[in-house]
Structures are given as C-alpha cells and as structure tokens.
Amino acid sequence: MMPATTGPLSMPIRTCSGCGARRPQAELLRFRAVDGILVQGAGDGRGAYACPARGCLERAIARRAFARRLRQAVEVPAGLVEALLGPAAAPAAQP
C-alpha cells in the first residue's frame, strides 16, 4: 500500500485514533504496545496515532481505539494523558 501524500513533499498522513482527523504524521503522537502496555514514542512494530489534545487521547482510551489499531489488547497506564499533556486545568470558580 502506498502512503498517502500531500503535495510535492510526500509527507505521510496518519489518522487520529480519537477524533479520526487525517493529519501529517509529524503533527500526531505515536503509540505502540510493549509487552501489552501502551507506550508513547517511536519503535518497531505496529503503531497508532493520536492528536496531542486531551480530548482525543481520552476518547481513544475510552473507545479502546488503541487496542483496535494495534490489533492487540493493551493496558493504558494510569496517568498517561497527564504525563504527556500535563494536569487538566481546574474549572473556573463561579461567583
């Protein structure tokens, strides 16, 4: 299968596992399974991609999209989203 391209530079296009948006590979975070545990970063084997946005990561985890894309059961470490993006902003106090 030929990689999807965008114009003359032939940048690989990947699909976000959370929102389904198609973006250049460099704009997405890559995930892979190591001994059944989801880890972020480059490496050998099948990969799954997600936008670097809290909503996309949380949706992909909730829908078990990473397991489907990686074609294996994966455990998502507690605090993975916070480790990648920092803690969620606290809701604004209402007067």
Mean pLDDT of the chain: 89
The pTM of this model reads 0.82
Question: Averaged in consecutive runs of 10 residues, what is the pLDDT profile of the chain (95 residues)?
Answer: 59 97 97 97 96 96 97 95 83 61
Give the residue from 86, 87, 68 showing the smallest Cα distance to 15. Answer: 68
